[in-house]
Amino acid sequence: MIATTRDYFHLHFLVFLWGFTAILGKLITIPSVEMVFYRTLLAAAGMGLIMLVFKKSFSISSSLLIKVFATSIIVAIHWIAFFVSGKISNPSTSLVGFATCSFWAAILEPILKRKKIAALDIALGVVVLIGLGIILAFDFKHPLGLLLGVIAGLTAAWFSIINSKLVHQVNAYAITFYEMLGACILILLFMPLYVQLPMVNNLNLVPTLSDWFYIAIMAWACSVYAFSASINLSKRISVFMIQLALNLEPLYGIVLALLVFGQQEVMNWQFYVGTAIVLSSVIVYPILKRTQLKVV
């Protein structure tokens, strides 16, 4: 099947939705752990409904289910780190940290698949570190937020690589359903320990009406709909083009954050220089990688 212009616009709309999650996370008033609990709960319910309507199989072997639930730990850490980053700093900071996902994928994939790390991958890492170094070197006020954003990028790369292996053994819808369910259960089990932390006074499990609205958008539009639509698009659009578009997610998110939050989102010029270096490297990387593979 040949991709149409409409398909490419659709793909970028999905990337826009994923970039919008950082803004939604900032708008939601309940803490990040409780927010991720509700997001995973609604996402699991929504994906389960999609699977029932479209008759997708829930079948999965016990050994694979253990692997999927183990991966859901990484998914939960990813979302908590990402949203805590946005809450203690701002969406732009969390998105720049998350933009290191391509760098982490370039490093982790050869390690997990027991292959040699290519020189191009190392070069990407050096450029990304230069960009982050410029951001941190000039009186940057959100170092912890940036660190958590980088952790979000690391964990996103980690579970994406694991899922790229699992998808050959079980359908992608089932993987997402069980990972969302697993993350939800794990956060629920973690809550008794969570409330004992010194910075946590008590659980806030009563979202406001606006919180429910934003969490529902995050779970159903940004997760269930966007995921299902991206699977369908992958039948017509190459993995390369999808990866290229996904690398624009932080850029879309930063522009959206500036539009939504205005002056409070504006950073010093060094932040934008460092951000431009990080984003340019992750956007150019798949193009160079593809050229390298063609030459080889």
Query: What does DSSP assign to residue 56?
Result: -
Provide the token pair at 213. Answer: 């609205």
Contact 149, 93 (CB under 8 A): yes
pLDDT of residue 266: 83
pLDDT of residue 241: 83
pLDDT-based confidence at 2, cuts 50/70/90?
confident
Give the range among 147-151, 160-164, 175-179 with minimum mean pLDDT.
160-164
pLDDT-based confidence at 200, cuts 50/70/90?
confident
pLDDT of residue 295: 63
0.75 exceeded by the pTM?
A: yes
How far apart (Å, rounded) are the C-alpha atoms in residues 163 and 272?
33
Tell me: pLDDT of 142 over 60.
yes
Closest CA to 281 of 240, 260, 251, 256: 251
pLDDT of residue 97: 94
**Average pLDDT, rounded, for the chain:** 91
pLDDT of residue 113: 79
**pLDDT (mean) for 214-239:** 90
**pLDDT (mean) for 188-215:** 92
Contact 38, 207 (CB under 8 A): yes
Q: Hey, which of 55-59, 102-106, 112-116, 164-168 has the most confident mean pLDDT? A: 55-59
pLDDT of residue 34: 96
Please name the helix (run of DSSP H) or strand (run of DSSP E) that holds residue 233, with its range, or none.
helix 226-233
